[in-house]
Amino acid sequence: MSSSRRQLARQISELIERPRTEAVKASRPQVIGITGPPGAGKSTLVDQMIRALRRADQRPGVILVDPSSPLTGGALLGDRIRMQEHSSDEHVFIRSLATRGRLGGLADGIDGVLGLLGEVGFAPLLIETVGVGQSEVEVAQIADTVVLVLYPGWGDEVQTAKAGLLEVADIFFVNKADQGDAGPLIGQIEAMLALSSRDWKPPVIGGSALTGVGIEALLSAISAHVNYLADADR
């Protein structure tokens, strides 16, 4: 780790302790939230997004939020190992943040961190959170664009407990299409979205974070959403 990196890491730790929300909000770069149930493939997808963004000469900053719940215990270590490949790339910044069992209040501290990463030239910024409890609502408050990662077989839950998840998503990514037929879940989501009165119609993309299929389509959809937000000045 270079000394400037070490300094950045220290500043981030300080910001988590002492949020400075107001000052940085205006200068913050585009923030993309990646959420979804445990095991959906969020980290694998983030890894692919980093690669694609690097190919496009961008400098992504990534925050992995670990709610430290029994549900996700241990997952973070795997994420870090998987993403270690990027640790030698000075144009990628990856940091994991533990939230002591809940996301509540995280928004304040994280705003400062995002502002700081923007100031030192990282953009876009990606935040991975597990879509359990309230975290998906919180990530929607922080992120400009929320990507919900699901996978075939998850569909039984679509109609019930996870309705909140569906409402906060700006883009759906039905992952693991290499493993199972993504079609039925895509159809189910689209049927639900057809009932929505939202002005923005969330695209539903099938793909595989493992093979990279659908990643370019995902990045295009994110750009389209960013343009939509800019046009309407939302």
Return residues touching ligand GDP (CB under 6 A). Answer: 36, 38-44, 75, 78, 175-176, 178-179, 208-210
CA–CA distance, 48 with 217 (Å, rounded to integer): 12
- State whether residue 39 is helix, strand or coil: coil
Q: Which is nearer to ligand GDP, 54 or 80 (CB)?
A: 80
Give the helix/strand (H/E) hosting 101: none
Cβ contact 19:109 at 8 Å:
yes
112, interface contact from ligand GDP, Mg ion, none, CB < 5-8 Å by kind: none
Pairing of strands 31-35, 61-66: unpaired
79 binds Mg ion (CB under 5 A): yes
CA–CA distance, 107 with 136 (Å, rounded to integer): 12
129 binds Mg ion (CB under 5 A): no
- Candidates 15-23, 43-51, 114-122, 142-150 — which segment interacts with Mg ion by CB under 5 A? 43-51
Q: Is the peptide bond before 124 cis (omega within 30 degrees of 0)?
A: yes
Q: Which is nearer to ligand GDP, 44 or 145 (CB)?
A: 44
Question: Which residues face 97 on adjacent strands?
Answer: 65
CA–CA distance, 39 with 62 (Å, rounded to integer): 18
Q: Which is nearer to Mg ion, 30 or 35 (CB)?
A: 35
Closest CA to 32 of 148, 150, 196: 148
4, interface contact from ligand GDP, Mg ion, none, CB < 5-8 Å by kind: none
Q: How far is the CB of 99 from ligand GDP (least distance, A)?
A: 16
Q: How far is the CB of 221 from ligand GDP (least distance, A)?
A: 17
Q: How far is the CB of 131 from ligand GDP (least distance, A)?
A: 9
Closest CA to 151 of 179, 187, 192, 193: 179
Q: How far is the CB of 143 from ligand GDP (least distance, A)?
A: 16
Cβ contact 35:133 at 8 Å:
no
175 binds Mg ion (CB under 5 A): no
Q: Which is nearer to Mg ion, 79 or 136 (CB)?
A: 79
178, interface contact from ligand GDP, Mg ion, none, CB < 5-8 Å by kind: ligand GDP
Q: How far is the CB of 183 from Mg ion (least distance, A)?
A: 25
Cβ contact 21:85 at 8 Å:
no
Q: Which is nearer to ligand GDP, 40 or 126 (CB)?
A: 40
Q: Which is nearer to ligand GDP, 205 or 209 (CB)?
A: 209
CA–CA distance, 144 with 175 (Å, rounded to integer): 21
Binding site for Mg ion (CB under 5 A): 42-43, 79
